[in-house]
Structure 1
């Protein structure tokens, strides 16, 4: 039986380009509440407005603006290079799936005529929010406490929190075992729409660093995107 502390490491060379896109400002962000359980985060009912814990109006505007910068990156004006096929994968949590839907709309409306069609976002549970256990629906001020414990032990499950090792393995396996083997032969751009901790921890697999160091990597803030693997590296924010 494999060790529960064993982590997946992504190879230095991957066929496809990966864009990490964090959801926009959410109703949970605005209220300072941890929403990490699927029964709360995926539902389209409940929450402060009775419509689930989705994006706030500010968050929707953030994503629109940031998605446009992604479109400009993927479809540069007067480019003579072949335009990439784009596939969007999203966490099932409402704040992420709403973000992915906006990205899809912006890219579809912006893509140039020769660009391959953009399929509708593919929902995948591997991109779900990290589960914060006993802190569900409590104040998000506890994040710093959990992150301090992460730095000491990336495999810890204190307070019934999902371990960093678990998050890394499920997100990295999506890349390695699901997306990379897909046809067609030409490489494509995979936009992974997810959450702060999920993307921070996934970055440790791309960078091949210990999972316990995830908070030391440059963050992908709300409604920001970052190329994790491909022709360009760096972060472009909604207010660039």
Structure 2
């Protein structure tokens, strides 16, 4: 049996990636504060679902932390070649605000780093279907279905394989669009990034909740994905 996580990496037909990929979860947001599930594109882009004051402070600290640590993690570069950091960002308000604030802090702390930003709809939050705008205490109901490897959700939630497929499409395009190595920061959401980490590690996507939890405004360097067997 071929797991979904391996299947989509087979489409890449590569054993290593040019860029170094980093997952970044958005800062503490209004939905976090209100314990709301806000997962649809329609709701997620509304201005009222952005960061709280706490989340904005977290995003500033995130930028400073990236400025101090990314240079020590960078691979070899040609003499005089600047370190490049590309923010690829979910269009949800809480992710956009996190990226904007963190990128500004990064530029201020490390003006020699070349920083770019772009929105990427495929990094949106996992859609939780009929649970939208309900309590976040309902998340475990969907995760239980994930763990059971259900083919469909009782709540109309997006399948883990669908989330993983759109993330790998983004990575593939990042690899193709620029030959110069960079850190690519995938600024997104809890479930989207848990599934991403599981896939990069070669784990079954159904076990994404066993990956260490990513806190608000936390970042984590991803490993290279497992080699294709095709």
Q: Which residue of 2 aligns with 1:123?
A: 119
Partner of 1:108: 107
How many residues are aligned here? 211
Q: Does 1:206 align with 2:200?
A: yes
CA offset digits 1:21-67 (Å, max 9, x no partner): 000110000000100111111022xxxxxxx2001111111121122
- By how many angstroms is 1:208 displaced? 1.3
Confirm or deny: 8 A CA contact 1:75 1:112 kept in the other structure. Answer: no
Unpaired runs of at least 5, structure 2: 225-230
Larger RCO (alpha carbons 8 Å, 6+ apart): 2
The question of 1:35 aligning with 2:32 is answered: no
Question: For 2:214, what is the secondary structure of its paired residue?
Answer: coil
Greater share of helix: 2
Aligned with 1:221: secondary structure? coil
Partners of 1:172 and 1:205 within 8 A in 2: no
2:160 is matched with 164
Q: Would the aligned equivalents of 2:63 and 2:104 in 1 still touch at CA under 8 Å?
A: no
Unmatched runs of 5 consecutive residues or more in structure 1? 45-51, 231-240
CA contact (8 A) 1:154 1:164 kept: no
TM-aligned CA deviation for residue 194 of structure 1: 0.1
CA distance in 2: counterparts of 1:150 and 1:217, whole angstroms: 14
Aligned to 1:8: 8
Match of 1:150 among 146, 149, 164: 146
Alignment RMSD: 1.9
The equivalent residue for 2:176 is 181
Q: Is the CA contact 1:74–1:83 (under 8 Å) kept in the aligned structure 2? A: no
